[in-house]
C-alpha cells in the first residue's frame, strides 16, 4: 500500500515521499481503516518541518497527517465483525497520510450518512478547537460576549457558526479592512480591522469600557498582548496559535509581551490552549462523545467545515502549497481512494 512518508524534517517539497509499505494488520482491539480523504492542515506542515509541539513530533520515519475519513476494512479479534464497512473518522490517531491506518477501535468514530466525505475528513481538529474553547472552556451562554482574533481563519469562521447556533455574541479582529464586511455577513456582531492602529481603543469602546471577559487568540505577538492588556477582572484569554510568526520562522514574533500591572490588578488569566492536551485531559470517552456531537451538528447543517479540494497523491506537493494560502481558499484534502 502507498504511504506519504518523511524520513527527516525539512521543507515539505523536499522531504515528503510517496512509498510502498507493507499492509498493516490490526491487533486484537484495533481496526484497519482504508483511508478516503485526509486534510493538509498548517499544523501538519509544522510537523513535517519539525516545528510542532516536541511531544507531538513523531519518531521518524513516519507518515504525517492528523485526521481523516475512511472505511474499516479489517478488525482485530476483540472487535465485532459488523464494524467492517463502517465509515469512520479518527479521534487523535496521528499518521493518517497513508492508504491504510491502524486505529484503536474506540478511536474510530462512526460518521452519519448525511455527511459528505469532504466534511467528515475535517470534522476533528478545527471544529473541536472552536467548540471546546467556546463551549467547554469559556462555557459561553446566550448573550455572553467572546473576543476573537483572526476571525477570518477556519477556526474563526467555525466560532461564528457556533455563536449563531448557541446565541453568544462576538467581537472579531481581522487584519484587512476588506474582511470587515465579510465577517459581519457571517454574523460577527462587532468587527474591527487591526489595519487601523486605533483598534485597541475601538475594542475598549466595544466592551463598554468593562474589559474583556472571554477571549481566544491565534495571532499572539502584539495583537495577543493588546488583548491581554484589556482583560476584565478575572477575564480569561486562551492563546491557541501564533500566526503573527509567519510560518513559525520569526522567533521574535513568538513573543507576546504581557503588561504585568493589568494582569495583576485584574487577576486575569492568559493560558495556552492545545487540542491534543485537551483531548488527553478529557480521555477517549468524552473526546469521542464531543466528536459525535460535532458530527451530528455537521449532519444537521448547523456546523459547516470549509469547502475542500481533493488532490491525488501524485499532486500532494500542490496540496502543501495550497495549505499555506489564506483560509478563504478551499481546504486541501489528500485523496487515498476514489469512490
Residues 85, 285, 326, 339: which binds ligand NAP (CB under 6 A)? 326
Residues 45, 88, 93, 125: which binds ligand NAP (CB under 6 A)? 125
Residues 70, 152, 211, 305: which binds ligand NAP (CB under 6 A)? 152
Q: Quick one: residue 53, left, alpha or beta (phi over 0 = left, psi -120 to 50 = alpha)? A: beta
- H helices within the chain, ranges in order? 12-15, 42-49, 117-121, 125-131, 154-166, 179-185, 199-206, 221-229, 260-266, 275-299, 316-323
Residues 34, 49, 169, 175: which binds ligand NAP (CB under 6 A)? 175
Q: Looking at beta carbons, which residue is closest to ligand NAP?
A: 241
Residues 69, 111, 123, 150: which binds ligand NAP (CB under 6 A)? 150
Does position 126 bind ligand NAP by CB under 6 A? yes
Does position 244 bind ligand NAP by CB under 6 A? yes
CA atoms of 221 and 178, how far apart (whole Å): 22
CA atoms of 95 and 117, how far apart (whole Å): 18
For residue 61, whether the previous peptide bond is cis, meaning omega lies within 30 degrees of 0, is: yes
Q: Which of 3, 275 has the CB closer to ligand NAP? A: 275
Residues 15, 135, 313, 327: which binds ligand NAP (CB under 6 A)? 327
Q: What's the closest the beta carbon of residue 64 comes to ligand NAP, in angstroms?
A: 14
Size of the site for ligand NAP (CB under 6 A): 25
Binding mask 7-46 for ligand NAP (x = CB under 6 A): -----------------------------------xx---
β-bridge mates for residue 73, sequence order = none
Q: What's the closest the beta carbon of residue 11 comes to ligand NAP, in angstroms?
A: 18
Residues 12, 95, 127, 241: which binds ligand NAP (CB under 6 A)? 241
Q: Which of 52, 75 has the CB closer to ligand NAP? A: 52
Q: Report DSSP letters for 136-167, one per residue.
A: IIS---TT-EEEES-TTSHHHHHHHHHHHHHT
Q: What's the closest the beta carbon of residue 325 comes to ligand NAP, in angstroms?
A: 8
Q: Cα separations (Å) of 138 from 90, 204, 218, 237?
A: 26, 20, 16, 9
CA atoms of 301 and 29, how far apart (whole Å): 33
**What are the b/e assignments for 192-219, b being 16+ CB within 10 Å?**
bbbeeeebbeebbebbeeebbbbbbbbb
Residues 274, 309, 313, 322: which binds ligand NAP (CB under 6 A)? 274
> For binding to ligand NAP (CB under 6 A), which residues are involved?
42-43, 125-126, 129, 150, 152-155, 175-176, 179, 218-219, 240-241, 243-244, 273-275, 326-328
Amino acid at each position: 500500500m502507498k504511504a506519504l512518508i518523511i524520513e527527516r524534517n525539512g521543507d515539505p517539497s523536499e522531504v515528503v515521499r510517496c512509498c510502498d509499505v507493507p499492509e498493516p494488520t490490526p491487533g486484537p482491539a484495533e481496526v484497519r481503516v482504508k483511508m478516503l480523504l485526509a486534510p493538509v492542515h498548517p499544523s501538519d506542515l509544522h510537523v513535517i518541518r519539525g516545528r510542532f509541539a516536541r511531544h507531538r513530533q513523531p519518531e521518524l520515519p513516519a507518515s504525517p497527517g492528523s485526521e481523516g475519513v475512511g472505511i474499516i476494512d479489517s478488525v482485530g479479534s476483540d472487535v465485532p465483525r459488523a464494524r467492517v464497512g463502517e465509515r469512520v473518522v479518527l479521534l487523535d490517531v496521528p499518521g493518517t497520510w497513508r492508504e491504510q491506518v491502524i486505529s484503536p477501535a474506540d478511536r474510530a468514530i462512526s460518521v452519519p450518512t448525511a455527511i459528505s466525505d469532504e466534511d467528515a475528513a475535517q470534522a476533528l481538529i478545527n471544529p473541536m478547537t472552536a467548540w471546546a474553547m467556546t463551549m467547554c472552556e469559556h462555557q459561553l451562554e446566550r448573550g455572553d460576549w467572546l473576543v476573537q482574533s483572526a476571525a477570518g481563519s477556519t477556526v474563526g469562521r467555525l466560532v461564528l457558526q457556533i455563536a449563531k447556533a448557541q446565541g453568544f455574541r462576538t467581537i472579531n479582529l481581522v487584519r484587512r479592512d476588506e474582511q470587515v464586511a465579510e465577517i459581519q455577513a457571517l454574523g460577527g456582531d462587532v468587527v474591527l480591522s487591526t489595519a487601523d492602529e486605533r483598534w485597541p481603543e475601538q475594542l475598549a469602546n466595544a466592551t463598554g469600557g468593562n474589559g474583556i471577559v472571554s477571549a481566544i487568540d491565534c495571532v499572539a505577538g502584539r495583537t495577543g498582548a493588546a488583548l491581554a492588556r484589556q482583560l476584565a477582572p478575572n477575564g480569561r484569554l486562551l492563546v491557541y496559535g501564533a500566526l503573527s510568526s509567519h510560518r513559525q520562522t520569526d522567533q521574535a514574533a513568538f513573543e507576546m509581551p504581557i503588561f504585568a500591572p493589568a494582569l495583576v490588578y485584574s487577576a486575569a488569566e492568559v493560558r495556552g490552549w492545545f487540542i491534543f492536551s485537551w483531548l488527553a485531559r478529557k480521555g477517549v470517552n468524552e473526546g469521542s462523545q464531543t466528536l459525535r456531537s460535532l458530527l451530528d451538528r455537521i449532519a444537521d447543517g448547523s456546523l459547516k467545515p470549509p469547502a475542500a479540494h481533493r488532490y491525488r497523491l501524485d499532486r500532494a506537493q500542490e496540496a502543501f502549497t495550497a495549505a499555506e494560502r489564506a483560509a478563504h481558499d478551499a481546504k486541501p484534502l489528500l485523496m487515498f481512494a476514489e469512490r
